[in-house]
A and B are shown apart, each in its own frame.
Chain A
Amino acid sequence: MRTTSEAPVAGPQSVKRAAKAANGSAGRAGSPGHPDLERGAVDVSRLSHSFSQLRVIERLELRVQPGEVVGLVGPSGCGKSTLLELVSGLREPTAGEVAIHGDSRPRARLESCAYMPQRDLLLPWLAAIDNAAVALRNRGASRAAARNAAHPLFERFGLAGFERSRPVELSGGMRQRIAFLRTLLAGKPVLLLDEPFASLDAITRAEMQEWLAGALAAESRTVILVSHDVEEALYLSDRVIVLSPRPARAVAELSAPAPRARPRLEAVTAPGFTTARESALEALVEGAR
């Protein structure tokens, strides 16, 4: 079991913005697209959180290996989003600990995580490529440098030609892809995806899951994916953890039959997948009792 004592502090991740702006490099520890994967271990131990009297999370344990994709499934309002905020360092838990690469300081966690909210939340006044590169701009890169860094990802993930489009001109699926690139371009080892496709229709969502599977195969990251869709979580994750209703605790853990296998339709209709989905759904029902 990993604890804070094992790995020392994540090192000089917080390079001064001025220095970054001066040498024109937008990245941390390497190029913006490729963070040090080894820094992506997430350890959640005895985590509890309450909002005044409301207990949201209770003694939750979670270990995520670097490069692993873990899906969290649970009923609506069970505290999944709160969990992501706790992991990312946006919020401090009432009790217990979250550490990323052995470091539990909120600042270190913020520096290791990129959060993708449920809705795309693209900035309407920025072109797609500037939306995707916003993290690089925040770290002091010039607009041209940020665009140069983002451009190859547009090519690689089938978005070439949409660089200059305004968000209003794009479909829901395209907007969500840009939003994911924005998360990826932050260059963080840990991605926290909060129901990334919940706002899309079923067909687009299936397309997006396949697309994301490909993207994660090309750009390996530690991913914590929150979803209320068992199938989505099983297809995209290596491992799925089923959470109980509030206060959330883990009620079951399932390893996914064929994570991110393509084509998606074949993967999700395979017998092993169907069985896993049934056990997950049973666990959800059991957990609700």
Chain B
Amino acid sequence: MRRWLPPIAIVAVLLGLWQLAANLDVIANALHIEPFLVPSPSDIAQSLWTDRSLLVDNGWVTLQEVIAGFALSVVTGVGFAIALHLSPTLRRAFYPLLVASQTVPIVVVAPILVVWLGFGIGPKLAVIALICFFPITVNTLDGLRSVDPDLLKMMRTLDASRLQTLRRVEAPTALPYFFSGAKIAVAVAVIGAVFGEWAGSSSGLGHLIQQASAQLQTARTFAAVVVLSALAILLFGLLAVLERRVAWWGPAQTRSH
């Protein structure tokens, strides 16, 4: 319980200051804008309650997109990492492309993806997967390559085939690294979902944020952001719990230098 006290205290103090500033119109005056454009935490809390069905329905849409897109990036990311690990030629050929894929401005690409893939879930999955697969691939690849060279030599004299070494030694070594990448990926996946929805959609939290902010419903915009963060924290937490159960040995246990 004591562990949770500092973060709760910090959040409470910040919310209190924000509430005070909003109530006294400090922020609105400083920015020379109308006070109703600066919602207080209590306004946002109220919106969370009154707009609950709106938030739940759109949150559910976004959650589905995030989970599907994340799953897609896990499959492609891990597959990519294994392929690049097994073939130095592939690694040399694809690694620069892998990095280059991260320089593509998603905001620009998302509308093109909508043109190509339509208004359904397709472009959202593509955007999320494009963002997520990079940390997963890079971390998993690092994990696969982190195995002690002496251990690999030993496995060869213990009659292990390439695939057996991969399965018995390299994959378990890489598992904690994979989880590090997956946790980063799932946190940014919600951003991908919002970009995907902004480019063209009729539902989802990103869509809701876009509508609400166009209508100057700032409290609802913030409420949607709160739900979005909660989703990211929830998914991150689930992955952390899963990691403790299936990859309890942690990274780099087989390497001592």
Among A111, A135, A188, chain B packs the most CB atoms within 10 A around the CB of A135
Say if the beta carbon of A270 comes within 8 Å of chain B: no
* Residues of A in contact with B, size category: 20 to 34
Given A123-B172, A137-B168, A115 and B153 contact (CB-CB distance below 8 Å): yes
Name the A residues within 8 Å of B169 (CB-CB). Answer: 123
Complex-state Cα separation, A186 to B160, whole angstroms: 11
The answer to whether B164 has its CB under 8 Å from any CB of chain A is: yes
| Chain B residues closer than 8 Å to A110, beta-carbon distance | 156-157
Most buried by B among A110, A111, A118, A138: A138
Contact B158 A121 (CB under 8 A): no
B249 & A17 in contact (Cβ 8 Å cutoff): no
- In the bound complex, do residue B254 and residue A124 qualify as a contact, i.e. CB atoms below 8 Å apart? yes
* Cα distance A113–B160 in the bound complex, in angstroms: 13
Dominant secondary structure at the B interface = helix
> A85 interface residue, CB < 8 Å from B?
yes
Contacts of A188 in B (CB 8 A): 157
B161 is contacted by which of A125, A135, A138 (Cβ under 8 Å)? Answer: A138
CB of A134 within 8 Å of the partner chain: yes
Question: Chain A residues with Cβ under 8 A from B160's Cβ?
Answer: 134-135, 138
Residues 10-32 of A contacting B (Cβ, < 8 Å): 17
Instruction: Report the bound CA distance from A112 to B161 in whole Å.
Output: 16
B34 at the A/B interface (Cβ < 8 Å)?
no
Given contacts A121-B150, A135-B159, 11 further A-B pairs with CB under 8 A are A90-B157, A111-B159, A115-B154, A116-B154, A117-B151, A134-B158, A134-B168, A135-B158, A135-B160, A137-B164, A137-B168
The interface of chain A, by Cβ under 8 A from chain B, is 17, 85, 88, 90, 110-111, 113-119, 121, 123-125, 134-135, 137-139, 168, 182, 186, 188, 192
Residue pairs across A and B with Cβ atoms less than 8 A apart, 17 shown, are A90-B153, A113-B157, A115-B154, A116-B154, A119-B148, A119-B256, A121-B150, A121-B154, A121-B254, A123-B169, A123-B254, A124-B254, A125-B172, A134-B155, A134-B160, A135-B159, A138-B155
